Every structure is written in structure tokens, then in C-alpha cells.
Amino acid sequence: MTRDADKKPRPTDPTPSTGAETDIAPLGQAKSKPPHEQTADEDVDVVDWEKVAAMKEFQALVTAKLKFILPATIFFVAYYFALPILVGYAPEWMKQEVLGRVNLAYLFALSQFFMAWILAALYMRAANRFDEMAKGIIKKAGNLKVKR
């Protein structure tokens, strides 16, 4: 005995068609997948990444990023942990009052906010340089397509 529900054709697409524009394209739709969702076999715009990694410009970009990020990170971590270390090992020095009842430890803690903002601003300036370098690499990488 078959029911009427069994006779109806089943939809081939189990994905709901509701959601925002940025949702994953439902299966069976005529629209192609966005580039970030394509598999290696579906991607027709494949660049030879080994050749890109070998480019002098790419190596210069990686070196420039390392020259900024590594020292900035070391400085940030050292500055951040300096407060608890100084409070623990030099409590009398950190208790010194500087402005009324405000002591050196409070000023040091407040300075960490400014230090983080300054580092963020410096990184934004450096990131603009990195972006310009990356644009040049992307232009050159367009010529390094993989032959299929």
C-alpha cells in the first residue's frame, strides 16, 4: 500500500531556500558557488602558488610583515607582563604616588591602553604598505595560472 505522499516527486534540493544573501547557495540552484566555497576541481581561476611563493615580491612582503609583526608582538607581550611582574617584584616602587593618590602602578596600567592604541595605529599604517605590495603580487600572479 502506497501513500499519496510517496507518489509526489521529491525535491532534489534538501537545502532550504530561506536566509540571507550571504548564505550558502542551495544545491541544484542555477547560481554558481561563491569563490570561497568552491573546491579545487570547481575553481577555474587557479594560480600556481609555488611560483607565487618563489616571487621576490612575495618574499619581500613576508619579510616586511615579519619585520613589523615580530618586534611589535614581543614588545606588546613584554610591556603587558611588565605590570604584574613589577607589582610582584618591586611593590614599593610601584606604590609611589605620582599624581595625588594615583600611584605608578595605576599609571602603568593606564599606559597599556595607549600603548595598544599606538601599536594598532602603527599596524594600520604598515598594513597599507602591505596591501600595496600585495596588489602588485596579485597583478603578477594573474599571469601564473595553472594549465589544466
Chain segment 81-106, per-residue pLDDT in tens: 999 999 999 999 999 999 999 999 99
Asked whether residue 22 is assigned to any structural domain, the reply reads no
State pTM to two decimals: 0.64
In a 3-state reduction of DSSP, which class is residue 21? Answer: coil
Asked whether residue 16 is assigned to any structural domain, the reply reads no
Asked whether residue 89 is assigned to any structural domain, the reply reads yes
Residue ranges in the chain whose pLDDT is less than 70: 1-30, 43-45, 144-148
The residues, ordered by sequence, that sit 6+ positions from 99 with a Cβ below 8 Å of its Cβ are: 107
Query: What pLDDT is attached to residue 145?
Result: 67
Specify the number of domains making up the chain: 1
User: What is the rounded CA–CA span in Å between residue 148 and residue 146?
Assistant: 6
Asked whether residue 31 is assigned to any structural domain, the reply reads no
Domain of residue 62, residue span: 49-141
Query: What pLDDT is attached to residue 52?
Result: 87
Asked whether residue 90 is assigned to any structural domain, the reply reads yes
**Cβ proximity of 43 and 125 under 8 Å:** no
